[in-house]
Amino acid sequence: MADIMTLKKFEALSPFEIKDELINLAKVTSRTTQSAFLNAGRGNPNWIATTPREGFFLLGQFAVTESKRVMEHPAGVGGMPQAGDQGLDHTHTWGRTYWGGAMFCFLADVEIHRRTGNRLGLQDAMRAVVKASGGLSADWPVSRVFATADAATGTKVFEEFYARMKDSPVSPDLHDVWAKLGVVSDGGTVTLRDDAPLSDVRRAIMQPRAKKT
């Protein structure tokens, strides 16, 4: 029964949190048994540790499957809002937190580029927040984060997007977004079209941005 109760708590965790829990369990086990804790890492020379690698990729497969279970969008994006969702402030499932946050940032990046003529983007906004707050140790309310981000770009993108998404689920038309950016998928092939309305935005987003001092 204890094992069942232990497993039940994992149902509320994201794959990334599960990964952290498994690492902690491995460390605890290594202190009480003869089994050594082996971190497979992400590069040489640990790539030869095949068993941990298999476990790592199994978690990756689980992450994709779980995202699709939450909701799979035809445009190839998982974790979209489900029936009963109440916006980013009220539906705190891992899918809405992780994928919903990623969608929010992606759409904000596109809009900031569009409104500033590609002079500024999400990175500029986030760098301003980091500089003003001092980094991850700061405990700012989201309203202050977005106000700082908007001030850095001279727009109201974050304020407007947050007002629209915080209390109500939003499912953007991703096919339309991709088409306007000039990202065309044909089976297993992706083509970038420079005659699309927002192809300049796509190119600006994909281009490395020099860090401003």
Domain stop point among 54, 70, 86: 70
Verify that 122 and 179 share a domain, yes or no. yes
Residue matched to tokens 């990756």: 60
Q: How confident is the model at residue 71 (pLDDT cuts 50, 70, 90)?
A: low
Assign residue 118 a region: left if phi > 0, alpha if psi is -120 to 50, beta otherwise? left
User: 6 lies in a domain?
Assistant: no
Contact yes or no for 190/184 (Cβ under 8 A): yes
Task: Please check whether residues 99 and 199 belong to one and the same domain.
Answer: yes
Could you tell me if 191 and 143 lie in one domain? yes
21 belongs to a structural domain: yes
Looking at residues 30-57, what average pLDDT do you find? Answer: 64
**Rounded to whole angstroms, how far apart are CA atoms 30 and 44?**
23
What residues have CB less than 8 Å from 192, skipping those under 6 apart?
Answer: 182, 183, 184, 199, 202
What mean pLDDT is reported for the chain?
77
Judge if 39 and 130 occupy the same domain.
no
User: Do 60 and 112 have their domain in common?
Assistant: no
Mean pLDDT across 11-23: 71
Distance of CA 80 to the CA centre of its chain: 12
| 189 vs 185: CA distance, rounded Å | 6
Return the pLDDT at 201. Answer: 95
Q: Would residue 53 count as lying in a domain?
A: yes
Query: How many domains, in total, are found in the chain?
Result: 2
Q: Which domain holds residue 66?
A: 13-70
**Same domain, yes or no: 114 and 180:** yes
Residue 76 lies in a domain: no
Is 199 part of a structural domain of the chain? Answer: yes
Q: Does 63 share its domain with 123?
A: no
Q: What percent of the chain has pLDDT over 70?
A: 64
**Residue 172 falls within a domain, yes or no?**
yes
Is residue 144 within a helix (H) or strand (E), and if so which, with residue range? Answer: helix 142-153
**Is 79 part of a structural domain of the chain?**
no
In a domain? residue 42: yes
What pLDDT digit, counting tens, does each position of 107-161 carry?
A: 999 999 999 999 999 999 999 999 999 887 888 888 899 999 999 999 999 999 8
Q: Report whether pLDDT(11) > 70.
A: no
How would residue 212 be classed by pLDDT, with cut points 50, 70 and 90?
very low
- The predicted model scores a pTM of 0.63
